[in-house]
Amino acid sequence: MRKLFITGASGFVGQALLPALKLEGYDIAALSRKVRDTSSGVRWVLGDPVTVDDWQREVDGAFGLINLAGEPIIGKRWTPEQKQALRDSRVVTTQNLVTAIAQARQKPSVLVSASAIGLYPKNEETELDETSRPADDFLGKLCQEWEDAAKVAEVHGVRTVLLRIGVVLGRNGGALERMLPVFKWGLGGPLGSGNQWFSWIHIADVVGLILWALASGQVRGPVNAVAPNPVRMKDFASTLGKVLNRPAFLPAPSFALNLVLGESAQVILDGQRVLPKAALQQGYTFRFPELEAALRDLTT
Ligand X SMILES: NC(=O)c1ccc[n+]([C@@H]2O[C@H](COP(=O)([O-])OP(=O)(O)OC[C@H]3O[C@@H](n4cnc5c(N)ncnc54)[C@H](OP(=O)(O)O)[C@@H]3O)[C@@H](O)[C@H]2O)c1
Binding site for ligand X (CB under 6 A): 8, 10-14, 32-34, 49-50, 68-73, 85, 89, 114, 116, 165, 167-168, 174
Shortest Å distance, C-beta 95 to ligand X: 13
- Residue 245: CB minimum distance to ligand X, A: 25
Pairwise CA distance, residues 56 & 49, whole Å: 9
Distance CA 221, CA 151 (A): 8
In the complex, which residue's CB is closest to ligand X? 11
Instruction: Write the DSSP string, 188-215.
Output: ---BTTS-SEE-EEEHHHHHHHHHHHHH
Nearer Cβ to ligand X (11/222)? 11
Specify whether the CB–CB gap between 47 and 55 falls below 8 A: yes
Ranges assigned E (strand) in 39-186: 43-46, 64-67, 110-116, 127-128, 159-165, 167-169
Minimum gap (Å) between residue 218 Cβ and ligand X:
23
User: How far is 87 from 70, CA to CA, in rounded Å?
Assistant: 8
Q: How far is the CB of 199 from ligand X (least distance, A)?
A: 10
Looking at the Cβ atoms of 142 and 152, the one nearer to ligand X is 142
Q: 41 φ, ψ to 5°?
A: 90, 5
Q: Are 3 and 26 in contact (CB under 8 A)?
A: yes
Is the distance from CB of 67 to CB of 78 less than 8 angstroms?
Answer: no
Which is nearer to ligand X, 89 or 239 (by Cβ)? 89
Identity of the residue, 143 or 237, whose beta carbon is nearer to ligand X in the bound complex = 143
Residue 160 C-beta: closest distance to ligand X, Å = 16
Taking the C-alpha atoms of residue 209 and residue 159, their distance in angstroms, rounded to an integer, is: 15
Q: Which is nearer to ligand X, 139 or 248 (CB)?
A: 139
For the bound state, the minimum distance from the C-beta of residue 247 to ligand X, rounded and expressed in Å, comes to 26
| Residue (107 or 203) nearer to ligand X, CB | 203
